[in-house]
Amino acid sequence: MEPVTFEVAAGITAIDTFYGGRERYTAAYLLDADEPLVVETGPTTSLEPVVAGLERLGVAATDLAHIVLTHIHLDHAGGVGRLAARYPNATIWVHERGAPHLADPTKLVASATRIYGRDRMTSLFGPVEPVPPQRIRALVDGDTIAFGQRALDVIATPGHASHQVALVDSRTGAVFTGDALGIHVPDVPVLRPATPPPDFDVELTVSSIERIRARARSVLLFAHFGPIVEIDRVCDLAIARTRAWTEVVRDAMRRTDDLDEIVALLEQEAARDAETGAEAPIDLQRFEILSSIRMNAMGIMRYWRKRAEAEASQPPS
C-alpha cells in the first residue's frame, strides 16, 4: 500500500496510519527538526504504513529521535513497542501515569480485551509489545520536549483519559489534541465525544478543552483525524456535545441502569448531532469504530456512579 502523507502546518506532516486497514481514521504526525519527532504511532497493525510514510518523508531507521504519545490507548500507542524497535535511537515520551504501562503492557492489554473482546483486539490493534524502560521519559504538566530548534510544550489534559496530554508546537502554535475534544473527521460537520471507561470525567474534559483553547494559535491536530483551523467553534462544539451526552445518561440513570436502553437514548442524541444530514453510513461506521456509542455510554455511566459514591461518602456539612 502506498503511504499517505500530507502537510498540515509548517514542518508538520500527517501520516495516515491506516488504522484497521481504513483510510482517514487515525493520524500520526512527523515534526521536522534536527531531531525528527513523531506524535502518535497508531497500533501495531499500523506499523508498515507509518514506516513507509516516514521513509517517504526521508526519515531513516537511525534518524528518528523522538516518539511522543498523547495517551496510551491502543489506537494511538499500541504500536509503540514495535516502532521503538524499528527506530532504535528514538526516545519515547508519555505522561508519567502512562509510562509504567509502556514498559509492561499486561494490564493495558487485559483492560482493552475486556472492552473490545479478543477478536477485535487482534483485528484492530495486533500484538502490543513493551518498550525498554530505559528509553521511556515520563512527562508532567508544564514540561517541554526540546528537539533541535523546535520544542513541544506539554499540557496535562485529563478527562478522556487521566494520563492524557496535549502538545503545543513552538514554531507554529499547532496543538496535538489526542482525544481531548473527541472525534472529528474530515468533511463531516459532526463532533462525537470520546467518553470511554475507566477514566472519563466531564468536568476535567471541559477544563482540558479550555486549556487547549488558551494555547492554540493556529490549528488543532486531531488524532482522529487531521487539522481543524476553527479553534473556537470546535472547542465550543466539543464542550456542548460532551455535556449533552453526559446529561442524557444522567437523566436516563434516574430511571434505569440498563445499558441497552441508555445506548438507545444516546443514539438518539448522536442523531441530533447529524441534523445537517452530512453523516453518510460510511461516516457513522467510522465514528462507531473510533468511539462507539456503547463504550461512551459505559464510560459516562461509570463516571456518574463514581460521582454518586464520592458524594455518598462525604460527611454532611
The answer to whether 147 and 34 have CB atoms below 8 angstroms apart is yes
Crossing angle of helices 231-253 and 202-215, in 10° steps, is 180
CA 202 – CA 190 distance, rounded (Å): 19
CA 54 – CA 49 distance, rounded (Å): 9
Instruction: Name the residue nearer to Zn ion (CB basis): 22 or 56.
Output: 22
List the grid coordinates of 207: 477544563
Instruction: Name the residue nearer to Zn ion (CB basis): 36 or 98.
Output: 98
Instruction: Name the residue nearer to Zn ion (CB basis): 5 or 177.
Output: 177
List the grid coordinates of 227: 487539522
Least distance from Zn ion to the Cβ atom of residue 279, Å:
21
Instruction: Name the residue nearer to Zn ion (CB basis): 73 or 192.
Output: 73
Instruction: Name the residue nearer to Zn ion (CB basis): 65 or 167.
Output: 167
Least distance from Zn ion to the Cβ atom of residue 116, Å:
13
CA 6 – CA 4 distance, rounded (Å): 7
> Could you tell me how far CA 4 lies from the centroid of its own chain?
20
Least distance from Zn ion to the Cβ atom of residue 71, Å:
6
CA 28 – CA 8 distance, rounded (Å): 12
Residues interacting with Zn ion, by CB under 5 A? 73, 179
Least distance from Zn ion to the Cβ atom of residue 178, Å:
7
- Distance spanning both ends of the chain, measured CA to CA: 63
Q: Which residue is nearest to Zn ion (CB)?
A: 73
Instruction: Name the residue nearer to Zn ion (CB basis): 73 or 101.
Output: 73
Least distance from Zn ion to the Cβ atom of residue 17, Å:
14
Least distance from Zn ion to the Cβ atom of residue 160, Å:
6
CA angle 109, 14, 37 (to 5 degrees): 70
Least distance from Zn ion to the Cβ atom of residue 62, Å:
30
Contacts with 43 (C-beta within 8 Å, 6 or more apart), sequence order: 17, 19, 74, 75, 78, 79, 124, 125, 126, 128
Coil, helix or strand for 41? coil
Coil, helix or strand for 30? strand
The answer to whether 172 and 218 have CB atoms below 8 angstroms apart is yes
Instruction: Name the residue nearer to Zn ion (CB basis): 179 or 273.
Output: 179
